[in-house]
Each structure stands twice: as structure tokens, then as C-alpha cells.
Structure 1
Amino acid sequence: MNEKQSSQSTLTILMILSMITWGVSWPANKVLTSFGTPVVLGFFRYGFVVISLLILLVLIRTKLLVSKKGIPFILISGALMATYNYTFLAGLQNGSPGAGGILVTTLNPVMAYGLGMLIDWKRPTKNESIGLLIGVIAGLTLLKIWGNEAVFAKPGNLYFLLSAFIWSVMSKFTSKSAKYGSPFAFTWWMYLVTLICIIPFCNVTAIGKLIQSTDIHFWGNILFSSIIAVTLATTTYFFATSKIGAEKASSFIFIVPFSAAIFSFAILGENLEIHTIIGGLLGIAAVYMINKK
């Protein structure tokens, strides 16, 4: 195995671990929605992310300098991330959390490829087309669409549809990060912009109450969802977009629903049904097909 193949294999393993981490964070995010609004939770999440990622960058001796040409991409990506934080958590509060997770994770790769075709005039390969089709079937199976036809019509679930679109657009911007410096430095500045966008809309009183809280459920879940799920897993995802493109990186998201279902079963005691297992395995098959040489 040459150096390039070894690097690709390492990135693939890291992406799979990151998607599993996103799955674990799903029940954590469900718990967090009972503690505050999407804006307040976003303040804590990205506050911890900015601090923890900065410490990580110092440890690995990565400079924070980025090209001036990359500033517009950072500003747009940060604003999109702030918007995504709101729509995603609002969906958890107002929509169907289980269905929402499947909607977002199924539509993300499909929308990313659609945007890629429109922006780059790049058609999916045969394997990518087959993988996307399998991924859509996986999502419909996970939703158990044959008995849940009205899932797309529920008002709260519109937040999830919007979240999927925002994420796919943001992925296209982060895929350009390597042109302007270190992808990790680009991501740190993006998270900082996200935090700055959130701060003006925060309820100071609500933030003060949570800071004084001793509830382990809040602190445990917010630290996990920020430091582990965002600083490590999401940053790995954005790094991957700069290396393999937004389309292929987004395909790994098909793994998340199955991972989320497994950990929701283990942590929250939710039922793990046969259609969930079948849909999850189809999602994994979709990732394999899309990334197959």
C-alpha cells in the first residue's frame, strides 16, 4: 500500500468513526433540547468548540493564518453553521426527532450531489448513482415510509429539510478551505464566526441559569456534543470535504441514522426494529458504493 492509499484508508476510518460519533450525539442532542432554546444551546456548544479546537491546534502546532481570499468563505460558512444550529435544534423541539434525523442524514448526500452537478457540472459516476439510490431506499426504509406517509408534511419536520439543504451548501464552501491555508484553521475561524452570529440573539438570563446549573445531564451532554461531536468529529468531516470533495464526504452521513438508532436503543431505551436494521445496513452499502473505485 503506497502513501496515498494509506492516507485515504486512514481518512476513511476517521470518517466512519466520526459518523458513529454523530450517531451517539443524536440522543445527547435530544436530551439537551429540554434545557434551553436552540440559540442558548448554540452559545454553549460553539463556545466550548472554539476553546477546545484552539487548544488542539496549539498542541498540533497549526497556524491560524488563512488567506484573505478565504475570508468570504469563512464568513458565509460560519453564518450557515449558525443557521443550521438553529434549524436542527428547532426541528428536534418541534418536529419528530427520530424521523428528522433520518430526513437530514438521507437528504444531505443527495442534495450535496445535486449542488455539485449544478455548480461544477459534474455528473455522478455509475457507482455513485447506484449508491445514492440505495441511500434513498435506506432512508425510506428507516422512516418506515409505508406506514408513515405524512412525515414530510409535518410542520416541525420542515426544519430538518431546511437543515439538510443548509448543510449541503455549507459543505461546498468548506470543501474550498485547503486553498486558503490549513483546513483546521479555516474551520476554527468558521466556528468563531458561528459563535459571533449566535451571541446577539442569546438570552443572558437563560445563559446565567445554565452556567449555575449542576445538572450532570446538561453538562455531560453539552461537553460531549461540543468537544467530541463537533470539535473532533465535525472538524474531521470538514477536513474530508477539502480532501475528497463535499459530495463523497457527505456520503458517509448515510451511516449516521443506523448509528443513532443503535445508541438511542442503548442509551434511551428506544425500540430497535427490523426495518431500522435493514435500512441501516442499506445505508452502509450506499457509502461503500459511492466511495468504491
Structure 2
Amino acid sequence: MKQWKIYGILVLVMFIWGFNLPAVKYLVSEVRPVTMTAFRIFLASLTVFTILTAMKLVRKPTKKEWKFIFVGALLNVVLHQYFLSIGLSMTSGSNAGLILGTGPVLTAVLVSLIMRVYPSRLQWVGVVLGLFGVSATVLAAGEGASGLSFGDVFVFISILAQVVSYLVISKAAKTLDPRLLTAYMFLIGSFVLFVISLVQEPGEIQVFFEVQPIFWALFFGSAIIGTAVGHMLFNYSVGKTGPSKAAIFMNLNTFFSLVGASIFLDEVISIRHIFGLVFIVTGVIFGSGAAEDLWRKHKLKKSVSN
């Protein structure tokens, strides 16, 4: 698949994740976060397996691939989802957004240190511009970042676990389809989270029998589209384009989340949000390597014409 199509998929995923935020906010207000996450991810795993079965892509992993699956499930599902859900209940939205916005920077640094794949100067410029745009966008939604709390630490652990999981996914993608990897990770991770919920949130399953019909509509939509389809496409893109470039697009998630919140939660989008969007989009163009691709094509056309 051409690189530009992968970029298009990544933008679509950020759109899906951004508009998934209002749904998740509602869901966790009705059912406690770990129990909710366990069942949502379990449904997502069944969805991905169903899609891949129709595509005839389901197979039994090898012993080596099982290692990647278990490590990926621990990092991308259990640690990421657990610490994110707990952290968001203990810190401000501004702080959480800023910390989550460091994902592309953490990815670039870890990939450079561990895999020795060094981003170009233009990509580093894109990382900085994207981080600045995320900061401006998130801070526009509140009164700024407050002091460091345990919630901030939990959110940071969450994004760090997710970033490290991209390295696992990238390596596993050499032999295992990232979409199938996603299905197995979700299935294993959901069971681990379910066990944790039984200990941390005993009796919470009963709440599912007391919710309104709108809850189930959002639950199925979030699990199937936001989690199953979103993560399946994102992990597929990580396997194709590499963790550094894919992570750059996470910057767009902040903006789409605010748009979704504006439409469904009546939150206001200001000029500062638009200002942040300009830097986010610029950062994505430079950080993903798209700017360099366009420049190389321009130089090639110019040399051919001469």
C-alpha cells in the first residue's frame, strides 16, 4: 500500500478516536472504568476476530509470535488502559492532554535509542511543532496545567506503555499481521483487566443491568468502531510505516477530541484551538516525512524537466 494511503488511514483513525472520547466519557460515568474497559475491549476483540475470519486472516501464532502477543497485551492493553482510566480520574484534563501529547516525542526518542532509527531534522521539527500545537490546544480548553499529581504520573505511565508497545508491534509485524496481533492482544488483555476489575471494583458487573438504552448504543459503537476498527487500522499502519511516523499522527487526536466534545458535550472551540490546529497539522506534515516526500518528488520532476 502506498505511503499516502497509510497517512490517510492514520488521519481517519485519529478522527475515530477523537469522536470516541465523548462516548467513553459517558460510559465511564455510568460504569466504573476498569470494569467498563474490560468488557469494551473484550467486545472489540470479538469484532476484530470476526472481521479477520471473513478475510481469512486468522491463524494460530507461532511460539515466538505468542511472546510478542503477551508482551503487547500487557503494554498496549492492560498497562495503558488501566493507568489511563485511573489517571484521568485523578488529574485535570489539561494535564492529561499535555502528557498524552508527549507520545510522538517519546516514540521518536525510544525508537532512536532502541532500534537506532533516527528521525531526520525535518521530522524532529515536526515533533516539536506538533507538541507545541497540542499544548496550545489543550490549554485553551481550561485554565492551564496544575501541579503534578499521582494522576499525572499514572497518565505518563499509560502513554509510555503504549509507546513501548509500538516497538513490539513493529517487530511482530515482520511475521504476524498487525490486525491479527491486535485481536489476540485485545482478547488476552480484556481477561487480565476483568480479573483486576473483580478485585478493584467488586460487584460492578451488576451495574450493566441498570443502565439506559443509550448506554448500550454508545457501548457497542465505542467498542466496535472506536476500539476494534480504530486500533486494528492503527496497528496495521504501525507495521507498515514504523512507530515514529505513525505516532506523529497522535497529535491530531487532541484536536478531533475537542471537536467531538464541542459537538456532543457543548464545549466551545476558540481561536486558540484553531491556532493549535495549524501547528498540529504542520507538525504532522513534517514529522511524518510527508514534507520530505513532496520535496523529493518536486526535485525529481524538476531534474526530469531540465
TM-score normalised to structure 1 length: 0.91
Q: Cα 1:189–1:152, aligned 2, differ >3 Å: closer, same or farther?
A: farther
Q: In the alignment, is the contact (CA less than 8 A) between 1:91 and 1:158 conserved in 2? A: yes
Residue 286 of structure 2 aligns with an amino acid whose one-letter code is M
How far apart in 2 are the matches of 1:152 and 1:172? 31
1:118 — aligned with what?
Answer: 113
Residue 207 of structure 1 aligns with an amino acid whose one-letter code is I
Q: What RMSD, in angstroms, separates the aligned Cα atoms of the two structures?
A: 1.9
How far apart in 2 are the matches of 1:42 and 1:143? 24
2:80 — aligned with what?
Answer: 84
Partner of residue 153 from structure 2, selected from 147, 152, 158: 158
1:254 — aligned with what?
Answer: 251
Secondary structure of the 1:123 match is coil
CA offset digits 1:138-177 (Å, max 9, x no partner) = 12212338x9564352432332222211110111111122
Q: In the alignment, is the contact (CA less than 8 A) between 2:177 and 2:236 conserved in 1? A: no
How far apart in 2 are the matches of 1:157 and 1:31? 22
- Alpha-carbon distance, 1:90 to partner: 1.4
Partner of residue 144 from structure 1, selected from 136, 139, 157: 139
Residue 93 of structure 1 aligns with an amino acid whose one-letter code is S
- Alpha-carbon distance, 1:46 to partner: 1.3
Secondary structure of the 2:269 match is coil
2:240 — aligned with what?
Answer: 243
Residue 155 of structure 2 aligns with an amino acid whose one-letter code is F
Q: In the alignment, is the contact (CA less than 8 A) between 1:44 and 1:222 conserved in 2? A: no
TM-score normalised to structure 2 length: 0.87
Q: How many correspondences in the alignment?
A: 285
Residue 151 of structure 2 aligns with an amino acid whose one-letter code is G
Residue 232 (str. 1) matches residue 229 (str. 2) = yes
Q: In the alignment, is the contact (CA less than 8 A) between 1:30 and 1:97 conserved in 2? A: no
Residue 268 (str. 1) matches residue 265 (str. 2) = yes
2:301 — aligned with what?
Answer: none
Q: Cα 1:168–1:236, aligned 2, differ >3 Å: closer, same or farther?
A: same
Q: Cα 1:185–1:143, aligned 2, differ >3 Å: closer, same or farther?
A: closer
Q: Cα 1:99–1:38, aligned 2, differ >3 Å: closer, same or farther?
A: same
How far apart in 1 are the matches of 2:194 and 2:68? 20
Secondary structure of the 2:254 match is helix
Answer with 191-200 or 234-243: which moved more.
191-200
Partner of residue 128 from structure 1, selected from 120, 123, 130: 123
How far apart in 1 are the matches of 2:249 and 2:145? 27
What is the percentage of aligned positions where both structures have the same residue? Answer: 22
Residue 97 (str. 1) matches residue 93 (str. 2) = yes
2:216 — aligned with what?
Answer: 219
How far apart in 2 are the matches of 1:214 and 1:139? 35
User: Mind listing any 5+ residue stretches in structure 2 that lack a counterpart?
Assistant: 294-306
Q: Which has the larger radius of gyration?
A: 2
CA offset digits 1:157-202 (Å, max 9, x no partner) = 3322222111101111111222232222111111111012112222
